[in-house]
Structure 1
């Protein structure tokens, strides 16, 4: 299995002989407005893609969308993605994807098999309290196939009972967490902080963690350097990878 961080939450994953594109966001730097009511009002995204959209799309056989906020699926991706690609999503997003012209939308209520790969949908909480409710439904997804590490993409969630349940149920070999500690002017973070990541690591002591969703969107306030420093203090630097944009990491088959 290979996971490549394209940028932010956009991942290119080679799994079970198939290539998935997760949460495609293709906008050029500064092309989108800043998220309002946040400490940093820079236009989004903050950085360019590390390579062309043609390179990102090369070899992609399916798309997985954790939820349809514009930093996970933007208008440019909707224009450029081939309409006949299989798209896997959470049920609340299916109608929108159909309306955008995708002909093979697969809304996963619980689980589904595709090309010998079993996909499971998991829950999450995109923040706490009233803000978490306003952010709408979000999902994570688990991929399993014979001879391949079990992969859990937690999605836009903070540490919560749903994440703990998914770890306990699937015992993932690799967990992708969306970090950055995204935050508004009021309320708690709506994506994972260093503390959240430490809790994930404690709940999954045999798992490798892959951190995405950093240094690209205006309200993601936790930097890679800050997270590296935090993880070193917790002695987690060997288990938690914080890839650069464009970096590709290989994970061997489980023994």
Structure 2
């Protein structure tokens, strides 16, 4: 694990391991799904590797996005502490209720606006739907499959529009997002085909490689950054399967893979 600070970027994304992603955009530093614990057991899940960069190296942040807090592979103990120390945390309504104040919950298709630090106006964070399992999976008392999960779309004038999928397995949800927001430039897709044998006959709870390639095609994004495909034992696919799926779909040119903690630059 590196403790060297992540230098500020004008417009870039880096994955730290697992789902944890840092987005520098509009002079803001945004972190999604912070997980900073060392490897080890987390209830029925097992973490196999810590992040490439620790929370001290990430430094001050302006916003933390939490797709869901129900599972430790998306918000572990040190990740929670990191989120609570941030000036602003956005998540879904049920997750916000469980995390408590001052976390803000956004229902799908509602947004939050915060001022950019580069003097360019505001950045809008739009909450979008996600389905954490197969479409025909049994729904819980709140109408969710597995649990509430929220994706996000970041947009601002003069900057690329960025979609963060969260633990979504639904191409139907991606199609609806693309229909409503047809100009997505970059996407961070959770693509490790997470599986838990006791849930939904062991079917994927997040996108597999082929699903990620299909999502990329539907979105039409020029840049796709894969995340949440390593660091935990319940992922059934890794980077090689993702790369193969994009190759077979003829979409290798949009897939951007970099070592964890290394920046992927986004075109302005």
TM range (shorter): 0.7 to 0.9
Task: Provide the TM-score with structure 2 as the length reference.
Answer: 0.83
- 1:25 aligned to 2:35? yes
Over the residues paired in the alignment, what is the CA RMSD in angstroms? 1.8
| Bigger Cα displacement from structure 2, 9-18 vs 239-248 | 239-248
**What does 1:94-113 align with in structure 2 at a 5 Å threshold?**
94-98=96-100, 102-103=101-102, 105-109=103-107, 110-113=110-113
Give the total of aligned pairs.
240
- 1:160 aligned to 2:161? no
**CA distance in structure 1 between the partners assigned to 2:174 and 2:244 by the alignment:** 24
**CA distance in structure 2 between the partners assigned to 1:123 and 1:219 by the alignment:** 23
For residue 15 of structure 2, give the secondary structure of its aligned residue in structure 1. Answer: strand
Deviation at 1:125, TM superposition (A): 0.9
Task: Provide the TM-score with structure 1 as the length reference.
Answer: 0.87
**CA distance in structure 1 between the partners assigned to 2:78 and 2:138 by the alignment:** 27
Considering Cα pairs closer than 8 Å and 6+ residues apart, tell me whether 1 or 2 has the greater RCO: 1
**CA distance in structure 2 between the partners assigned to 1:80 and 1:174 by the alignment:** 25
Please, which of 111, 124, 135 is the counterpart of residue 118 of structure 1?
124
**CA distance in structure 1 between the partners assigned to 2:105 and 2:216 by the alignment:** 29
Contact 2:39 2:48 in 1 (8 A): yes
- Distance change (3 Å), C-alpha of 1:131 and 1:2: farther
Q: Deviation per CA, 1:38-59: give whole Å up to 9, x if none.
A: xxxxxx3211221332102x13
Give 5+ residue unaligned stretches, structure 2. Answer: 1-10, 116-121
Contact 1:125 1:160 in 2 (8 A): no
- 1:127 aligned to 2:133? yes
**What does 1:1-255 align with in structure 2 at a 5 Å threshold?**
1-35=11-45, 44-56=46-58, 58-68=59-69, 69-83=71-85, 85-98=87-100, 102-103=101-102, 105-109=103-107, 110-115=110-115, 116-128=122-134, 129-130=136-137, 133=144, 135-170=146-181, 171-185=183-197, 186-253=201-268
Q: Deviation per CA, 1:84-103: give whole Å up to 9, x if none.
A: 521111111112222xxx53
**CA distance in structure 1 between the partners assigned to 2:145 and 2:249 by the alignment:** 33
Q: Deviation per CA, 1:193-226: give whole Å up to 9, x if none.
A: 1221121122123432111001111111101122
- List 4+ stretches of structure 1 deviating above 6 A: none
Contact 2:154 2:161 in 1 (8 A): yes
- Distance change (3 Å), C-alpha of 1:84 and 1:149: closer
